[in-house]
Copies of this chain bind each other. A is one copy, B any other.
């Protein structure tokens, strides 16, 4: 009993040890140029050992994303479980969660965005792939649930909540990738935080119903043009 649990714990610790090393190496050398031997060396293990815990390099690479996806999901679930709070404060909770997800591990988050829409995705074990899919889907659903409430309350624009969630997620990932890209090129000040705030502000305002405007103003304007 105890012995089995201890083994299990140690196994998990080793996995973490490897993941931590992989993160360091990936950050340092870039995701493509890091070798399994580098990671093994960083983890103070032998190359062969890595394969006892991860099927191959891609799986190790992808596993990095799992933790952050888990974290994201937990935060979002927590957000939805506190059902009492009003929509405004929950949206602001959502944004806070996103900041925290970014802080949780910037490198890995970016890595995860890269992972999406790359060939790597296709080489994963079905299990890992479906775990990633599942976590993503559930996280997006949690977001959608949140937006749905606003839509039902008539506060948000009348769009499919899932589409709003997709937009939100796309905006978040887009800002992070683009600002990271800029700071790599320019190596000067990092505008990530500011841009993210502005982006969220625009998004916030954009999903709200603005009675006399939005579509209506267009008509009004159009009328004016005549």
Contacting B at CB under 8 A, from A141-178, are 157, 159-160, 163-164, 166-167, 169-175, 177-178
Question: Which residue of the partner chain, among B118, B136, B171, B208, contacts A114 with CB atoms under 8 Å?
Answer: B118
Contacting B at CB under 8 A, from A69-104, are 88
Shortest Cβ gap from A61 to chain B (Å): 12
Contacting B at CB under 8 A, from A177-192, are 177-182, 184-186, 191
Question: Is there an interface contact between B163 and A194, defined as CB atoms closer than 8 Å?
Answer: yes
Q: Which of A33, A117, A175 has the most chain B CB within a 10 Å cutoff?
A: A117
The answer to whether the Cβ of A8 comes within 8 Å of any Cβ in the partner chain is no
Per-residue interface assignment for chain A, residues 116 to 130, with 1 indicating a CB less than 8 Å from any chain B CB and 0 otherwise: 111101100000010
A: which residues have CB within 8 A of B? 29-33, 88, 110, 113-114, 116-119, 121-122, 129, 132-133, 136, 157, 159-160, 163-164, 166-167, 169-175, 177-182, 184-186, 191, 194-195, 198-199, 201-208, 210, 213-215, 217-218, 221
